Chains A and B, each alone.
Chain A
Amino acid sequence: SDEKTPNFKSIGSLSPAIDRKIEPFGAAFLAHARRQRHGRTFSEDDRI
């Protein structure tokens, strides 16, 4: 259906998300908070 990507067909989107709290502890969270606060993506973060 999509002309630019003939091998990929988008059919639906995700079910609505549930808002939950991530516990602000541990190295993985700190990395997440850093990305959020600086508006960075995973890949941008990886490059730094």
Chain B
Amino acid sequence: MAKHETPLLDQLESGPWPSFVSDLKQQAEVRAKNEAGVEFQIPQDAVEDLLGVLELSFKHGRTHWKHGGIVGVFGYGGGVIGRYCDQPKLFPGVEHFHTMRVAQPCGKYYKTSYLRELTKLWDFRGSGVTNMHGATGDIIFLGTTTPQLEEIFYTLTHDLNQDLGGSGSNLRTPADCLGSSRCQYACYDSNALCHFLTNEYQDELHRPAFPYKFKFKMDACPNGCVASIARSDMSFIGTWRDAIKVDQDAVNKYVENDPGYPANAGAHKGKDWGPFDIEKEVLALCPTKCMKFENKTLSIDNANCTRCMHCINTMPRALRIGDDRGCSILVGAKAPILDGAQMGSLLVPFVEVNPENDYEAITEVIESIWDWWMEEGKNRERLGELIMRQGFQKLLEVTGIDPQPQHVAYPRTNPYIFWKEDEVDGGWERDVVEYRKHHLR
């Protein structure tokens, strides 16, 4: 018998999409029966009370969590999001209901033996409710009490060889697309770069030393499967700089509508769009119109290709990424608060991704940006806002990168141009008396 009536939430049990209400009810029941004989370290009815408080929010149209909450584990300045219910008498099971962020493996591959260790720990010391996964990438343990935090951390690190993720004004948990593990478009091993940088900068991740939060995301090609261009202060997007590889026989299989060669790998199978038309579906849609198909031969003027991925996405069996691979680095993406949303702006058009030298070319850029932003960034100012305030030119200066046309979508339209004094012959120190010798008042 449920502890609280939930007439509003009950209506979210119908319909085809997996119901979180049904799942929470199932969890409440599993805890109530406790067939596994778990010695629960937080209230056994925590999930009942979670449903109860959520039902109350559905009734009021307002949240019932108190503002903020500062909890954590010794040695770290982040990783745990404290939370307390504003109706603890009604819902004592969620009086404390803190979230722990647990660092996820890159690519989010798992073995069940590992997941079962996590669920066993979380059933014992937490609510047994999770997010798989948080938007930044972490495994989210949703709901435990303050005295359990150190206990969970001890077991995670000692028995599971597993650390917390990031929160606060620091490097947050990096995340990646699945990369070359299961994708032929990957221009670099995003799993490996993500894992390396996460470990390289553990101190920056666990102990807030920044003006505000900072995120890394790794997309192995411009399709952006982890959305790094929109969701990370520093975005590493794979690319190549030689020619797209063309298999002409395979191109003609597409043109002939061979069933083994469906356009876009079959992504549009649910509707009859007519037979594949290479002119209409590939050549005409190429943003630079740099392709031709004549005499059964596809040619690409690669010097004018911007590597948008459209032709490769559309004919994956015929067209392959080039062999001279690396990544572009874009910086500054953020949500609207405070000065408006930003997507990443291109800073490094091409950089090698080389594990042999510990990704030196990439860490140099990261560290020069951090040196600047940590010194100049105002309290709660994202990198993107510092770039707006001090100028893109300043960013180029601190990273030692020469300005190039690739840095802009278009040149400035206003002529309010700053010059450095040493760029101008004779400098700025001038004598008006000298001027007046030739120009009478």
State yes or no: do A and B come from one complex. no
B residues contacting A by CB (< 8 A) are none
A residues contacting B by CB (< 8 A) are none
